[in-house]
A and B are shown apart, each in its own frame.
Chain A
Amino acid sequence: MQNRLREMREKFGLTQEEVAAYAGVSRQTIISLEKGKYNPSITLAYSLSKLFNMSIEELFLLNERSREYDKK
């Protein structure tokens, strides 16, 4: 699943560690999310979208291409 996490984190001037601490996850999880390798739970997606004052749909982009990628 594609997302705008890195873009928003840089826009807000936050480090991966700060985002991880806010969301209550490890820094590795934030790294994996930014790389699009890991799909978050609804709770984590909600927590991150709240941090950046966005809706989940604005932060995480589900398109046909990412659906195909998830199937692999």
Chain B
Amino acid sequence: MTRNNAKLIKYLTLALLAGIAIWQIFKGNSSFGTGLLVGVIAAAGSLEVKHHRIRAMQEKGMNPYDERTWTLAGLAAYASLRIFAIIIALIVLVGYIWGPQVQVNPYDLLGICLCVLLGIYVGSYYYYNRKI
């Protein structure tokens, strides 16, 4: 897949998500719809800034996706997996023994897990970016 195709797919996905957000707002699920719409706008803005910076680097002949970036991504992914597994294992262990039995919406839980995992990944990436 070329970089332009990947960019097109990213923007199509954002447009689709924005459509879902607007549909949800009109359907009456305004909190979810507004949250999703704000997320889509933030993602589109950050993607545009990122593409601008990448273009500027490429015009100078530099490669923003060089080997160091992949090394950092690999280290961050491994660190995220380890930290996330430890956190989840502790929560399951402690919660199963001492915690109350609660009913949760599995989609909320999956969303929270995804946010936590991404947060750990971003934090790990910045940590290794400063270290290496």
The interface of chain A, by Cβ under 8 A from chain B, is 17, 20-22, 24-29, 32, 37-38, 40-41, 43-44
Contact = CB atoms under 8 A, between A and B. Distances in A.
Contacts of A27: 62
Interface of B: 57, 60-64, 66-69, 71, 131-132
Interface centre among B57, B62, B66 (most CB of A within 10 A): B62
Nearest to A40: B67
Contacts of A40: 67
Contacts, number: 40
A25 B131 contact: no
B16 to A, nearest CB: 32
Nearest to A21: B61
Contacts of B63: 24-26
A32 B69 contact: no
Contact of B66 (A17, A22, A26, A37): A26
A29 B68 contact: yes
